[in-house]
Amino acid sequence: MRFGRTAAALTLATALLGTVAAAPAPAAEAARFPTGTATSADGRTVLADRGGRALQLRGFNVDKYDETTEGDLRSIAAHGFTLIRVAVSWARLEPARDSYDQTELAKLRGLLDRAAEYRLLAVIDFHQDVYGPEFGGGGRGIPLWATRDDGLPFTPDPDDWFAGYFQPAVQAAFRHLYDDPDLRRWQTDFYTRIARELGGHRALLGYDLFNEPFGPVDGDPSDPAVLAASAAELEQGRLAAMYQRLIAAVRRVDTRSWLFVEPTVLVGEGLPTRLPAFADPRGGAPRLGYAPHFYDTAVEAGQDWDPSDGFVEHYTAAITAYPRAGRLPVLVGEWGPPDSRTPGNTLLVRRQVDAMAGFAAAWTMWYWCRGTGGYCALGPDGRPAPGDGPAFEPYAVALAGLPGTESYRNGLYRLSFTSGRPGWTEVVLPPGSSTGPEGVSVSGARVSAVVVERPGPDRSGLARILLPCTAPGTRVAVTIRV
């Protein structure tokens, strides 16, 4: 979003009622980068900027970085989003040991440059699917030269790609990755190199250290007890050691970025993670976060969602304790059904958005593309796909305080928060809204100014509300008639 360039703002301002030196003029505000965290009244950890405002980062996964266009990034920003998650592949960036593809690296840096132009932050996702190219996985993941399968068999199932994780060759490859000293060293070198290439970039929020981690399963994978025991063993042992090693690898060259750890995919089945706490060697407050995915297995298999299955409730209960105990902000790195147009999946999107408002500091939906299904968030016309509307609703991207509740129903957006330092609270307005300053009302605090950038038919707007020196801890309620 390029505030102040594309449309004249409608402004309603009263005389300032207090000192607001901590609040920059809206048009001059820099991109929102979280420098720390804060704890809300309900115990969740939120991201916060240098001025102490709580930030809510929302956005989308983008396809492979060399296929994401400037138009994609412009459109993501125009819809009011501030975050992208970018999948990178070790196999593509380092196709041979210690030989990096400079063209691929340049494409990745170019994507970050374009993201910065549109004030988007990016999470670099170290992606793998079924380990790596040797086993399909869309060509992404661990390179062939770092794949050791002990000569064991691998028979792909075209109807169930996830079943590949349980093939003997894939199990062996993961075991070697976790256990072999030379593979551990090579992986560490790769992470350090990528962090050196990208560290300090103004669009870089941080790194998702390992997509959908998996590992050896000792026993029958169709037995839920076996899977649970294997996941716990992995998270407490091999995976925990990998994460601490990779955290150290990135921190050798990058102390600014946020580092996110993922649990195994069984969190989607309501199984709480057994990951331990991790140490961040950077000076100052740690910048670590938790990045679970939010997928229903039955929906992934092609079924329409059944609201009676308790998925959303079980998932929310499963992911809550770990980040609260470690005071970690939650980034839901992937979520959303493969087809939001069916009745159950349409309801699932609604329920997921509402649930994440209660525990997530950030989310990136899977994923940004145009189509008639297959996870595409947009229809062929470039408008939100039927059923995905809740992901495009108004939301508070920055709060001069700590979040409370947020809702949008029947054209009425409601927000409550607990006031902090004086500053601008900012709410994204959907494209086509006719809201002006007169459509914004505030209770619980006096208002110094309301500035509304009117959205266009295909571009979001922004409502900014400046509060004066309200006593910290005051409950503020905002209503916007969209």
pTM score, whole prediction: 0.93
Rounded (10°) CA dihedral 269, 270, 272, 273: 20
Task: Tell me the sheet residues that pair with 85.
Answer: 61, 123
CATH superfamily of the domain spanning 57-393: Glycosidases (3.20.20.80)
What is the chain's mean pLDDT, rounded? 90
**Distance, CA of 455 to CA of 79 (rounded, Å):** 10
**Distance, CA of 202 to CA of 119 (rounded, Å):** 9
- Identify the residue whose tokens are 């994204």: 428
For the chain, give the longest Cα–Cα distance. Answer: 76
φ, ψ at 67 (rounded to 5°): -110, 0
Please spell the DSSP secondary structure of 108-149, one letter per residue: HHHHHHHHHHTT-EEEEEE--SSSSGGG-GGG-SS-GGG---
**Distance, CA of 230 to CA of 297 (rounded, Å):** 18
Q: Where are the domains of the chain?
A: 1-55+400-482, 57-393
Helix (H) or strand (E) holding 453: strand 449-453
Helix (H) or strand (E) holding 451: strand 449-453
Find the mean pLDDT for residues 375-398.
95
Q: With contact defined as beta carbons under 8 Å apart, do 175 and 167 qualify?
A: no
Kindly give, in sequence order, each residue whose CB lies less than 8 Å from that of residue 151, ignoring residues fewer than 6 positions away.
none
φ, ψ at 9 (rounded to 5°): -85, 145
CA-CA distances (angstroms) from residue 25 to 3, 273, 460, 464? Answer: 11, 43, 20, 10
- Identify the residue whose tokens are 């307005």: 429
Confidence of residue 14 (pLDDT cuts 50, 70, 90): very low
- Identify the residue whose tokens are 């989310």: 363
Confidence of residue 236 (pLDDT cuts 50, 70, 90): very high
**Tens of pLDDT along 81-138?**
999 999 999 999 999 999 999 999 999 999 999 999 999 999 999 999 999 999 986 7
281 pLDDT more than 90 = yes
